[in-house]
Amino acid sequence: MSDNPAPVQKPRSFFEKLSEKLFHEHPETKEEFIEKLQDAHGKKILTDDAFHMIEGVLEVADLRADDLMVPRTEMQVIDISDDPMNWIKQVIAAGHSRFPVVDGDRDNVVGILLAKDLLKLFVDPNYKVSEHLRTPVFIPESKPVDILLKEFRLKRNHLALVVDEFGSVSGLITIEDVLEEIVGEIDDEFDVDQTANDIIQISPGKWRVKASTHIEEFNRHFETHFSDDHYETVGGLISDELEHVPHVGEVVIIGGYRFKVTKAVARKVQMLLVEKVEGPKPEKVSEAPTEQNDSKD
């Protein structure tokens, strides 16, 4: 018997395992692999859902935390100095399950509140919610999203705060943000109903508009004349004007209307805040978001 141990085989990647199952000849590069996937999709070997999910997995491997994070200006946070009964109102209004709890400043995150913990206040009015906050998890902006997803699963954590090189909080990312990049948008009872109106007026001169709203429908509602020759949806219009996939917080002014991206994933914009702009028709503008007091889980 040989004393030399058998060489340890390197674990095969997802890419290699999938190639082995789908193709007789292994693709040499990621680009070649995607071409073969597209060919399999075209031949109906892969369903639309399967193709887009595999495509999402491959794209996630190239993303960093700051590509998918909710910017700090859009974060919904709870101040530890507020009355817990006000926390309940804020949680109900937002509809999220987890909230960063801050002590005055958004860089001073003291814990993570799980909305379900507030239920204990109705049983025991003396229950100190602030003493039962979860420990916040901080990650760098450069954190690879595929590694982050693995850590979310292993540590049973659903939310991480993203910090820049100076330690300031630049945003937050949830496991749902990552999964939506792979499987598409995940709606719950607090998200906008897919069967609800695409255009909802939320105050005078201000509307919430789904990015999937057809240009024709938008034109009919707002009496505008945007062309649908090159894109079918409002999201396509915004992407074309900005010349890239929009990020949350980006703003563009077109045809007398101000469009602000309020929800997006790495591959597409999902929700917009639309406001009528008074005065002469401005040129296209893209502006960085400014810090304010609204946000998300």
Render 41-65 in DSSP notation, one character per residue: HHTTSS-HHHHHHHHHHHHHTT-BH
Q: Which domains does the chain have, with CATH numbers?
A: 14-63 (no CATH), 66-183 (3.10.580.10), 199-276 (3.30.465.10)
- Binning pLDDT at 50, 70 and 90, where does residue 186 land? low
pLDDT of residue 30: 72
Above 70 in pLDDT, residue 36?
yes
Q: For the chain, what is the mean pLDDT? A: 80
How many helices (H) and strands (E) in the chain?
A: 10, 12
Task: State how far the Cα of 110 lies from the Cα of 130, in Å rounded to an integer.
Answer: 9
Least confident among 52-56, 161-165, 177-181: 52-56
pLDDT of residue 150: 92
pLDDT of residue 282: 42
Q: What is the pLDDT of residues 67-90, one digit of tens each?
A: 888 888 888 899 999 988 889 888
For residue 103, count other CB atoms closer than 10 A to its CB. 13
Q: Which two tokens stand for residue 204?
A: 């005078």
pLDDT of residue 272: 92
- Binning pLDDT at 50, 70 and 90, where does residue 9 land? low
Above 60 in pLDDT, residue 291?
no
The pair phi, psi for residue 200, each rounded to 5°, is -125, 120
Q: Which two tokens stand for residue 108?
A: 């001073």
